[in-house]
Every structure is written in structure tokens, then in C-alpha cells.
Structure 1
Amino acid sequence: MDEPSWDQKELTVGQLAARSGVAVSALHFYERQNLITSRRTSGNQRRYRRDTLRRVALIRVAQRVGIPLADISAALAELPNGRTPTRQDWARLSERWRAELDERIHRLQQLRDEFAECIGCGCLTIDRCLLANPYDRLSEHGAGPRRLLES
């Protein structure tokens, strides 16, 4: 596949796939989900604006950190379709996810640091559980791994 030149305004689906690292089938899926848009040539071939690369990159990064596709779609719906998104557009979008990402980071750190200890699930099979959750007292707070869910 030919690499797009730096001044090329539109990309074929193959060029977009090659430059973004996303499979053509995924790009078609993104388009069906209205995450990206294309125009059709007289030969019915898709052409994507070059700034679609930014949208695809954002989709990939957001998915990689676990942001649901519905949230990605809602955020992208707020970005302008008629022009290249600006730095301010991207800053506003990233700020939207800051609290959620901070919470995910906290939960991941907690899982990393505390998973070897009693998590309050009620199994009482780790010797530490008898100290941290004697008689499964944490079950009074609800089902599941109470120490991880409540902190």
C-alpha cells in the first residue's frame, strides 16, 4: 500500500488503515458506528479526510485504557465534523475523561497492591482473611470483594 504524502488531503481506506495501524474491517465498523465519516467517490470508493487519523488514534487509545465505545462515541459526537479538531477540542475531550481515568488508576493500583491480601470476598481461605475479615463480617456491607469495592 502506498504511503500517503504529507500534503495529501484525503486517504483511501487502505492508506488510513496502514497509517493508523487499524484493520480495514475495524475502520468500516467505526464508520458504521458513526465514529468516523467518509465520502464516496464516483466509483463508490471511500475517501477519508486526513484528520480522521486523529479520531482513529483517539479511539484506539481510549479503547486501550478501557473507555467504553459508547463513551468514545458521545465524546466524538461533540467534536466538529466540518473542520480539523483543534488543540482546545482535544483538551476538552481529555478533561472529560480525567476523573474516570483517575478512578481507574486508583482501582488498578489498589488491585496491584492489595490483591494478595484479604479483599473481603468471604472466602476466608487466606490466613490474612481471618485477621482482616474475621467471621466474614464484611458481608454485612454487601456482596463481593468489599475491601476493594469500598476503598
Structure 2
Amino acid sequence: MSGVPWNAKELTIGELADRSGVPASALRFYERQGLIHSRRTEGNQRRFHRSTLRVVAFIRASQNVGIPLSVIGEVLAILPEGAAPTEQFWGRASDCWSEELNARIERLERMRDLFTECIGCGCLSFEQCALVNPQDRLGEKGSGPHRLNSGKGSLGRS
């Protein structure tokens, strides 16, 4: 840990990395993505507002539950620059995450169920498999993962 006071108003990228536990390379990436912001000194060195520590914690917590950076960025866009996430902000983000996570859980369960149905067959042919694609009905819809996106199990079943 550096000798920077815990209440310093600004942090260098190294100090932010030390205090947040996030590598400087990741912090630079977050900055390029517009997730965090810094100002530049006359010597062109980055200086991050202390509140960035909380923003980085928010980013990492969100990533840990599988939220993509693009979605994290959308939510961070409502946070005023230089402001730390508040309890109210976390609550709003949690509401957004719940929808996203529930949708992801549904997709994963659908994929698991489809995979479980097909595991015993072994034919490995989506064109011929009567379970996955009877009479090649999916071919009529064009390319793409129609069954995975439909919210239904095997064709013909709800």
C-alpha cells in the first residue's frame, strides 16, 4: 500500500490500483470505455477523484455477477461525474441487474434443457434430428438460434 493518506482527494493510477485491487491496465481500459474518468496534470499524468474507488467497486461487483461492461456503462451514465454510487444508485442498478440476470438465467435453463434432451441421441445433425429440428422447420426461418431465443423448448412444445 502506498503512503497516500486514505482521504486524499485525488489518486494516481497506481494508487487507485493499489487501493482498489484492480490492475492499472484494467483501470485504463475502464477509462477508454468511459466507465471511469480522470483529469490530466500538466505532465499528462492521470489523476482520479477519490470517488472513483467506489465506481470501480461497483464495476467489479457488477462484473462478478456477469453483467457486461456495456450494460454497466449504461447504468453508470446516470451517475454524475465525480460522484460516488449511493445506496439509492445501487438500488436502481440492482433493479436493472435483476431483469438482466433473470433473462440470462432463463436462457441458460433453456440451453440446459435442450442439451439434456439431445445428449442421449448422439446424431449431431441439426438438419436430420427429429428432436431438435423435425422436418427442418427451423431452416424455413433462416439462420440464427431460433429455439434458444424463442423461450420455448423443443419445437411443437411450449
Give the alignment's TM-score, normalised by structure 1. 0.72
- The CA distance in 2 between the partners of 1:18 and 1:146, in whole Å, is 46
Q: Spell out the pairing of 1:99-118 with structure 2 (5 A cutoff).
A: 99-118=99-118
> What is the percentage of aligned positions where both structures have the same residue?
54
Residue 132 of structure 1 deviates from its aligned partner by 5.7
CA pair 4-108 structure 1, distance change in 2 beyond 3 A: farther
Deviation sequence 1:64-118 (CA, Å, 0-9, x none): 514242x322221210224332100121122223322210111112223331324
> TM-score scaled to structure 2, two decimals?
0.69
Query: AA paired with 1:77?
Result: A
- 1:35-114 equivalences under 5 Å are 35-41=35-41, 43-64=43-64, 65-69=66-70, 71-114=71-114
Partners of 1:134 and 1:82 in 2: CA distance: 56
Secondary structure at the aligned position of 2:47 is classed as strand
2:15 is the alignment partner of 1:11: no
Q: Does 1:123 align with 2:127?
A: yes
Query: Kindly tell me: are residues 44 and 117 of structure 1, through their superposed partners in 2, closer, same or farther at Cα, counting changes over 3 Å?
Result: same
Q: Which runs of 5+ in 1 are unaligned?
A: none
Question: What 5-or-longer segments of structure 2 have no aligned partner?
Answer: 120-124, 152-158
RMSD between superposed Cα atoms in Å: 3.0
Assess if the C-alpha contact under 8 Å between 2:118 and 2:132 holds in 1.
yes
